[in-house]
Amino acid sequence: MLQEVLTEVAIVVTVMLAIAIPLFIGFGRIQQTWTELRSRIRTSLPVIGLVVVVLLLNRYGRQTLTSLSRDYGWDMTSTFYEIEGELIIWFQSYDYTPLIRFFSFIYIYAYVFLLVFPVLAYFALSDNRPFRQLLTAYALNYSIGIVIYFLVIAFGPRNVMPEMFDTVLYDFQPRYQHLTREVNDYRNVFPSLHTSMAVTVGLFAVRTRDEYPKWVPVALFLAICVPVSTMYLGIHWAIDVVAGTILAIFCVSTAVLVVNRWELWKRCSEHLPTLEELHGWLAEAWSTIRRAVR
């Protein structure tokens, strides 16, 4: 069943990408990217490797850290419930089938598209700084998120109030459980990584509005719908969404700062002397000193 769901997600996202790539990126950029493919990959290899390592650690270390958090983590579920009460129930007061279908589509399919498309779009830019900044922000989101998941134990509304909160996502499509079980743990809801990643993409869309003006309204619309979908479907508290938004702002700011400083260092290093030049200068200075002493 998991394989069927993954195949369906891959097909839907591929169709969405097939529409978005020519619409937002354009064939001119695609052709230029193809001609410069090797050089762009070579320049971006360090940050690509970083993201791969972080995803692998997150994939294989999440279960271990989750198990350890049972002994060392801080259970905040009751605190979140005391703060919010039954506020999240308000979302399900609008229990309409079209809304359930819409937010289920957003949570499962549109979210994946939202994360994948900017990677392709920024890779297609001649200036690859946005690409490296985006991947760095992705890596920071997952790295910080898994640390917080270790420190904070929190159950979502659907687990705290099962008698009051319908699990509309699984009631609508029970097979989605096979997918969410692979990527999520019901104890890890704070912060909402769905929110942090979606808001990260939205912030980058605004930063690159000159390069991709048509992408901005689409990215912002999805960046808003994804957090709302997590609350409507009973997966996250509003507190999780707020924390995810703050995490996204921090990760984007940090990623931009790190990449820009690294770029500045690279430019400065081009004008710094090599070790051979330094050795030559020191040898010449030493010879001059010796001649002066004699």
What would the pLDDT profile of 98-139 be if each residue is shown by its tens digit?
Answer: 787 888 889 888 999 999 999 999 988 888 888 989 999 999
Main-chain dihedrals φ then ψ at residue 153, nearest 5 degrees: -100, 125
Check residue 258 and give its pLDDT.
87
Check residue 222 and give its pLDDT.
95
pLDDT band at 291 (very low <50, low <70, confident <90, very high): low
Mean pLDDT in residue range 218-237: 89
Check residue 16 and give its pLDDT.
93
Core vs surface per residue 221-244: b (16+ CB within 10 A) or e: ebbebbbebbbbbbbbbbbbbebb
For residue 270, pLDDT beyond 60:
no
What would the pLDDT profile of 143-157 be if each residue is shown by its tens digit?
Answer: 888 888 878 877 777
Cα(140)–Cα(84) distance, rounded to whole angstroms?
A: 28
- Residue 185 burial by Cβ neighbours in a 10 Å radius (0-12, 13-18, 19+): middle
What would the pLDDT profile of 77-90 be if each residue is shown by its tens digit?
Answer: 767 777 776 676 66
Cα(223)–Cα(220) distance, rounded to whole angstroms?
A: 5
For residue 269, pLDDT beyond 50:
no
Token pair listed for 119:
């990677």
Core vs surface per residue 87-123: b (16+ CB within 10 A) or e: ebeebbeeeeeeebeebbebbbbbbbbbbbbbbbbbb
In order of 29, 41, 170, the CA distances from 96 in angstroms are 42, 46, 15
Looking at residue 75, the DSSP 8-state letter turns out to be E
Please, which residues have CB within 8 angstroms of residue 175's CB and are 6 or more apart in sequence? 1, 4, 5
pLDDT band at 271 (very low <50, low <70, confident <90, very high): very low
Check residue 110 and give its pLDDT.
92
Cα(256)–Cα(249) distance, rounded to whole angstroms?
A: 11
- Give residue 263's identity as a one-letter amino acid code: E
Please, which residues have CB within 8 angstroms of residue 47's CB and are 6 or more apart in sequence? 131, 132, 135, 136, 139, 259
CA of residue 288 relative to chain centroid, distance: 58
